[in-house]
Chains A and B, each alone.
Chain A
Amino acid sequence: DQQVKQNSPSLSVQEGRISILNCDYTNSMFDYFLWYKKYPAEGPTFLISISSIKDKNEDGRFTVFLNKSAKHLSLHIVPSQPGDSAVYFCAASAGDKVIFGPGTSLSVIP
């Protein structure tokens, strides 16, 4: 039973438009959430995170929103660029362990 779900395996967006990647979780004990980006044949790289005491965190073109009551978070990328094409993993943690979602493959079309 997946504790962290990313129900869209893939997403295509036009360059310059907004990309919205969604993530749902089931464990209410998670208190920290992270997004990682992965290019083919490379390890994942950290993108942005948010604590459960916040509902929004912004870093340049990337914004993460957290809705604790719905156990839902989303990553907004605006404007989207071709270099953003990658697999995005949502992750949630409680203590030392981190649980990753299955990932969403984002394609930004020039």
Chain B
Amino acid sequence: DAGITQSPRHKVTETGTPVTLRCHQTENHRYMYWYRQDPGHGLRLIHYSYGVKDTDKGEVSDGYSVSRSKTEDFLLTLESATSSQTSVYFCAISAVSGSYEQYFGPGTRLTVT
């Protein structure tokens, strides 16, 4: 299994509070991705990174920001959580690019009340 972890694995927070999710990899892969999974929508790309301090937006980036200061860590921040951001969040890594296989973390279940 690829060395990719996510923390926390579960979180319940209140509307309006900031939340940061962490993705950590030990594979030294260049590309890192954040997705959210919702019923009927599959996996939707939030943001991705193609190198340290190099990030770009995905399909559903509004309300989210990311940072990547080290190769191994990719942080996803909800500046002010809303109930519509209740979801399961997956981090993924890829050595080459999105065109090739990605390795996914175990997911973080976030509930915003």
- Residues in A whose Cβ lies below 8 Å from that of B90: 43-44
- CB-based nearest A residue for B107: A43
Query: Do residues B41 and A96 form an inter-chain contact, with CB atoms below 8 A?
Result: no
> Does A102 contact B106, Cβ atoms closer than 8 Å?
no
In contact, A97 and B42 (Cβ under 8 angstroms): no
Interface of A is mostly: strand
Contact call A31/B99, Cβ cutoff below 8 A:
yes
Contact A96 B42 (CB under 8 A): no
B50 CB contacts on chain A under 8 angstroms: 96
A89-B43, A97-B45 known; A43 vs B98 contact (CB < 8 Å): no
By a CB distance below 8 angstroms, the chain A residues around B74 are: none
A-B contact count (CB 8 A): 64
What chain B residues lie within 8 Å of A49 (beta carbons)?
A: 100-101
Which parts of B8-60 form the interface with A (CB within 8 Å)? 31, 33, 35, 40-45, 48, 50, 56, 58-59
B99 contacts which of A6, A41, A45, A95 (Cβ < 8 Å)?
A95
Contact of B98 (CB < 8 Å), options: A4, A36, A95, A103: A95
A48 CB, nearest partner CB in chain B, Å: 9
Residues 71-107 of A contacting B (Cβ, < 8 Å): 89, 91, 93-103
Known A-B contacts A43-B107, A44-B90, A96-B48; A101 and B42 likewise in contact (beta carbons under 8 Å): yes
* Residue from B41, B44, B104 within 8 A of A43 (CB atoms): B104
Chain A residue with Cβ nearest B103? A46
A34 within 8 A of B: yes
Provide 19 A-B residue pairs closer than 8 Å at the C-beta atoms, listed in order of the A residue: A4-B42, A6-B42, A32-B100, A36-B104, A43-B92, A44-B43, A44-B90, A46-B101, A49-B100, A89-B42, A93-B98, A94-B99, A95-B97, A96-B48, A96-B98, A97-B58, A98-B98, A99-B45, A100-B42
